[in-house]
C-alpha cells in the first residue's frame, strides 16, 4: 500500500515533511496547500505534486493522510475537519495551547474514529530511541530518576514568545513528553522554578527564559528538566536515566566529530545550532512511523492524549511557579 499525502502548510517544517514523505517508498506526496501560493508552488515543483486548496484536499478521494504544518491556532480546527473527512492526521505540536480546546478536539477524533499523531519528534531520534530500548530491555533495572537538559542555541524573537503560550507550553512541553516517555509511569505532581536570565524583553512579555522543573510519579520516580532559551555552545539536548541497576544516557550531537589539541587544550566543535539539523533523522523516522502505523492499521503514538498530557504538565508547571508550591495532576 502507498499512503497518499496532502501537506497543509509549506513553511520551514512543511518542507522537512515534504522531503520525508517524498523519500519514503511507502508514501506519495499528492498535494500541498498554503496561504502563500509561492510557498506551495515551490514544494509542488520540487517534489512533483499538485497545489490544491485545503478544501480540495479535504474532499479528495486520492488522499489518505495529511500533515498539518499550519500556524498553531489552526491545528485543532483542521484536526477536526480532517478527522471528519476520514483522513489520517499527522499534526505538528501543539494541538492547541488551551487544555479545554485540546480535549474537545480529541473528543471529535475519538467520535470519528480518527487517526491522529502529534509531532513529538524527539521520541524518534535514533539515540533517544536507543536509550528507550536499553530501558525496555531492562539494562538499567527500574527507572528511578530522569534528567533532561534542553537548551536552545538562542532565544526566539519576542513576537514569537508572545504567541508561544510561554516557555512551558512551547519549549518544556517537548521535555514533558520525553519525561513521560522515559519514566514509564505518569507524573502526578509538578514543581517548577522560573526566571528571566537571558533577555529582559522576554520577561516584559510575561514569559521566562530559564526554568527548572521536577516531576514526580505516584511511586516516587523523579524527572528533572533544565531549560534555557540560550546556550552559546549550541543546541543542548541530553537525557540521562538512573535506574536500580544502572544508568543510560544519550550524548549531545555535533555535526563534526573532530578534536583539535594545542596549548589551549583539546577542543571539539560546538553542537548543532539548529533543531532541524539536530533532529534530521528524527523527522524522517517520525513520518515513517506514521506511515507504517497507517499501513498496518496500528496504534498511533504519540497520540492526541499524549499531547494533552504534556500540555497539562506545562499548565501545572506554570501554576507551580505562580503559587510557589507543588501542583498535583488530576
Residues that bind a second copy (CB under 8 A): 23, 25, 46, 126-127, 130-131, 134, 139-140, 142, 144-145, 147, 149, 151, 189, 191, 193, 195-198, 210-212, 214, 216, 219-222, 224, 226, 228, 230-233, 236, 242, 244-251, 253, 255-270, 324-326
Cβ distance to a second copy smaller for residue 118 or 182: 182
Cβ distance to a second copy smaller for residue 101 or 230: 230
Residue 176, all three cell numbers:
514533558
Strand 236-243 relative to strand 222-228: parallel, antiparallel, unpaired? unpaired
Q: What is the DSSP letter of 54?
A: H
Q: How far is the CB of 4 from a second copy (least distance, A)?
A: 17
Q: How far is the CB of 311 from a second copy (least distance, A)?
A: 22
Q: How far is the CB of 93 from a second copy (least distance, A)?
A: 24
Q: Which of 20, 123, 119, 143 is nearest to 70 (CA)?
A: 119
Cβ distance to a second copy smaller for residue 48 or 86: 48
| 48/303 Cα distance (integer angstroms) | 30
Q: Which of 179, 182, 173, 212 is nearest to 320 (CA)?
A: 212
Cβ distance to a second copy smaller for residue 110 or 219: 219
| 242/143 Cα distance (integer angstroms) | 6
Q: How far is the CB of 240 from a second copy (least distance, A)?
A: 8
Cα angle for residues 206, 123, 107 (degrees, 5° grid): 70
| 219/183 Cα distance (integer angstroms) | 11
Cβ distance to a second copy smaller for residue 67 or 215: 215
Q: How far is the CB of 8 from a second copy (least distance, A)?
A: 24
Q: How far is the CB of 221 from a second copy (least distance, A)?
A: 7
Number of neighbours of residue 329 by Cβ within 10 angstroms: 15
**Element spanning 275, H or E:** helix 275-278
Cβ distance to a second copy smaller for residue 110 or 142: 142
| 159/237 Cα distance (integer angstroms) | 25
Amino acid at each position: 500500500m502507498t499512503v497518499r499525502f496532502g501537506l497543509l502548510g509549506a513553511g520551514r517544517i512543511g518542507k522537512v515533511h515534504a522531503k520525508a514523505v517524498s523519500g519514503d517508498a511507502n508514501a506519495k506526496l499528492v498535494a500541498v496547500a498554503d496561504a502563500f501560493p509561492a510557498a506551495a508552488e515551490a514544494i509542488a515543483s520540487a517534489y512533483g505534486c499538485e497545489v490544491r486548496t485545503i478544501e480540495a484536499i479535504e474532499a479528495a478521494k486520492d488522499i489518505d493522510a495529511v500533515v498539518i504544518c499550519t500556524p498553531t491556532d489552526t491545528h485543532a480546527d483542521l484536526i477536526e475537519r480532517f478527522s471528519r473527512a476520514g483522513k489520517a492526521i499527522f499534526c505538528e505540536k501543539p494541538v492547541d495551547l488551551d487544555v479545554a480546546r485540546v480535549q474537545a478536539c480529541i473528543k471529535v477524533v475519538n467520535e470519528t474514529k480518527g487517526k491522529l499523531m502529534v509531532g513529538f519528534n524527539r521520541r524518534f531520534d535514533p539515540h533517544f530511541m536507543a536509550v528507550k530500548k536499553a530501558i525496555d530491555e531492562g539494562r538499567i533495572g527500574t527507572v528511578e530518576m530522569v534528567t533532561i537538559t534542553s537548551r536552545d542555541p538562542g532565544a526566539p524573537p519576542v513576537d514569537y514568545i508572545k504567541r508561544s503560550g510561554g516557555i512551558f507550553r512551547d519549549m518544556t512541553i517537548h521535555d514533558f513528553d520525553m519525561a513521560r516517555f522515559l519514566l514509564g509511569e505518569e507524573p502526578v505532581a509538578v514543581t517548577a522554578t522560573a526566571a528571566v536570565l537571558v533577555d529582559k524583553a522576554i520577561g516584559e512579555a510575561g514569559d521566562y527564559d530559564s526554568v527548572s522543573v521536577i516531576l514526580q510519579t505516584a511511586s516516587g520516580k523523579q524527572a528533572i528538566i533544565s531549560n534555557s532559551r540560550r546556550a552559546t555552545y549550541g543546541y543542548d539536548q541530553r537525557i540521562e536515566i538512573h535506574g536500580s541497576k544502572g544508568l543510560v544516557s544519550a550524548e549531545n550531537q555535533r555535526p563534526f566529530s573532530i578534536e583539535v589539541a594545542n596549548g589551549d587544550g583539546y577542543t571539539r566543535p560546538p553542537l548543532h545550532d539548529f533543531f532541524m539539523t539536530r533532529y534530521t533523522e528524527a523527522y524522517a523516522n517520525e513520518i515513517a512511523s506514521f506511515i507504517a502505523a497507517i499501513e498496518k492499521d496500528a496504534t498511533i503514538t504519540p497520540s492526541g492524549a499524549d499531547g494533552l498530557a504534556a500540555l497539562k504538565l506545562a499548565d501545572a508547571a506554570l501554576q507551580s511557579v505562580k503559587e510557589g508550591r507543588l501542583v498535583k495532576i488530576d
